[in-house]
């Protein structure tokens, strides 16, 4: 019995769980970089309040309502959807955090097969 307990404590202690301090990323100004199919770096900046996110990309503004369902997970819904696909809500989950950035995954709500991942840097509180 003692050996099992020591082994269990050793296993739990050796696991490296990612840091998830999500609360500091609920609001602020952020930058998201992605790569286009042509290989160009695309930069999206966005500002998030408790319940609204406003994104800026290629001179266009995009707004989403934000509903936090837990400290690390939220649902986005377009403020003014212009198509049927824009009416679909997007689920975002923060997977790990660092001092000023986080890694996340996102997909349409209910779509478990087509999850994407991204990396966001906080540039202003």
CA atoms within 13 A on the CB side of 39: 0
Grouping H, G, I as helix, E, B as strand and the rest as coil, residue 10 is helix
Q: How far apart are CA 114 and CA 124, in angstroms?
A: 31
> Domains (ranges, CATH) in the chain?
16-124 (2.40.128.20)
| Per-residue model confidence as pLDDT tens digits over 18-73 | 678 999 999 999 999 887 889 888 899 999 999 999 999 889 999 999 999 999 99
Q: How far apart are CA 122 and CA 32, in angstroms?
A: 9
Question: What is the value of pTM for the model shown?
Answer: 0.81
């Amino acid at each position: 019995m003692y050996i099992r307990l020591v082994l269990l404590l050793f296993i739990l202690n050796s696991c490296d769980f990612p840091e998830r301090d999500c609360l500091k990323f609920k609001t602020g100004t952020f930058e998201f970089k992605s790569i286009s199919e042509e290989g160009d770096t695309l930069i999206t900046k966005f500002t998030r309040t408790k319940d609204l996110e406003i994104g800026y990309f290629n001179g266009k503004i995009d707004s989403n309502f934000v509903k936090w369902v837990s400290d690390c997970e939220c649902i986005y819904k377009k403020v003014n959807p212009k198509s049927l696909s824009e009416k679909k809500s997007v689920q975002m989950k923060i997977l790990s955090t660092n001092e000023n950035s986080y890694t996340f995954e996102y997909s349409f709500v209910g779509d478990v097969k087509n999850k994407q991942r991204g990396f966001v840097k906080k540039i202003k509180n």
